[in-house]
A and B are shown apart, each in its own frame.
Chain A
């Protein structure tokens, strides 16, 4: 389950991601008032099996029943893991449109939540998730070469979020603000080749670059990303890189 909010006096609106259905919203009647109908099954991050009637006209499905497959209790026992799970689900929710069918995105999120159930994700895994998700929804970032001239190395680069990649110093002489070290890390993350040691400043630069790429595709700021960063800064700075 990606998100939920109260609807009227006793109902809930839930946003679900189905492996075959893609992202869809459903009304869960009586979910707030009666614990008998859905119990604790409509909780964030939970993996559930639902019986829903799809309404053609409004696009809002009507939830009849839900069976809990995995509540991911481990996530709920750790504040940073909860914030990370919230960020990943919000990211998926914002980048996928309703009814976009993508079993690969489902698997990506399900795997990440499964891992979060056991342990917090490192910053490397979070960045890898972002790049993978962008690829799966058709916006694979290109960090390997300059999008204008094809050159592979440059002292400074500039991010062209609209082009989904980078421009070298020669092609964008006055706007180069991305370091070669950050580009190298982005390439390694994309190729899933972990680096031995990356300094905090470079990882923060990488985080900012990917955030800028995501922001270019969504219509509102991601609240859970800001929440995660603020919480990480307050509780454990190593998670704020």
Chain B
């Protein structure tokens, strides 16, 4: 929104909502203004339902006590699903990573969300992640832990640390493969990715 727009009789509530909306990712002044006007022009029930749902979201959605995924109950639907393979645990950095793997429909095991990565330059150490709760879960019945942290320096460091913590327990520790993306062209792929793709090649 341009400066001049602020003068067009905005109430304190509108200004406050606009500022709150702008704290959301991807929402600038113009989008905030559009969202606010859309709420105002919709039936009043819509605005009330939206407000109540946001309040419920904040009050009732918490991390699952087992895996750290967001859930309305103490244990999420994935952890309580008996059809899931409980011998497999996939470790991800954040909830959006879990959702991305779920969207692939290729994985039927359980998850563990770390809620971050080791980050030396930010001073984020192991004690700031949900690593102890992961190790506590690795009792009888777990045969493999899949480390699905990103292939950045921080993600690799986290995977190395987890491997060191988990390997002594006699559980297989695997890492997501890294290499050429589906549909990707070698010509436009960086040398580091090609190197890792070659190192991780498999027989067909």
**Chain A residues with a Cβ under 8 A of chain B:** 3, 9, 35-36, 39-41, 43-46, 68, 71, 73, 76-79, 82-83, 86-87, 89-90, 223-224, 226-228, 230-231, 234-235
Contact = CB atoms under 8 A, between A and B. Distances in A.
B181 interface: yes
Contact of A78 (B120, B160, B192): B160
Nearest to A66: B190
B193 interface: yes
Closest 3 A/B residue pairs (Cβ): A223-B123, A86-B120, A71-B192
A83 B160 CA distance: 12
18 contacts: A9-B25, A9-B26, A39-B188, A39-B189, A40-B193, A71-B195, A73-B195, A73-B196, A79-B157, A82-B157, A82-B160, A87-B120, A223-B121, A223-B122, A223-B123, A227-B118, A227-B120, A230-B125
A223 B120 contact: yes
A37 to B, nearest CB: 10
Nearest to A93: B121
Interface stretch (B4-12, B73-81, B148-156): B148-156
Contacts of B125: 227, 230-231
A218 to B, nearest CB: 14
Q: How many of chain B's residues touch chain A, expressed as a range?
A: 20 to 34
B191 interface: yes
Contact of B181 (A35, A73, A224, A234): A35
A44 B25 CA distance: 25
Interface in B117-150: 118, 120-126
A86 B124 CA distance: 12
Contact of A68 (B124, B126, B153, B191): B191
B193 A235 contact: no
Nearest to B151: A40
A82 B26 CA distance: 33
A234 B25 CA distance: 37
A92 B195 CA distance: 29
Contacts of A68: 190-192
A23 to B, nearest CB: 15
A83 B123 CA distance: 10
A126 to B, nearest CB: 14
Nearest to B188: A36
A132 to B, nearest CB: 21
A77 B157 CA distance: 8
Contacts of A76: 153, 156-157
B156 A40 contact: no
A107 to B, nearest CB: 22
A44 B192 contact: no
B169 to A, nearest CB: 17
Given A43-B152, A87-B120, A73 B192 contact: yes
A224 B160 contact: no
A44 B119 CA distance: 11
Contacts of A46: 192
Contacts of B192: 40-41, 43, 46, 68, 71, 73
B84 to A, nearest CB: 30
Contact of B156 (A39, A82, A223, A230): A82
A76 B196 CA distance: 12
Given A39-B193, A41-B190, A43-B152, A79 B161 contact: yes
Contacts of A71: 191-192, 195
B201 interface: no
Contacts of A234: 126
Interface string B20-31: 000001100000
Nearest to B153: A44
Contacts of B181: 35
Nearest to A227: B120
B164 interface: yes
Nearest to B123: A223
B110 to A, nearest CB: 26
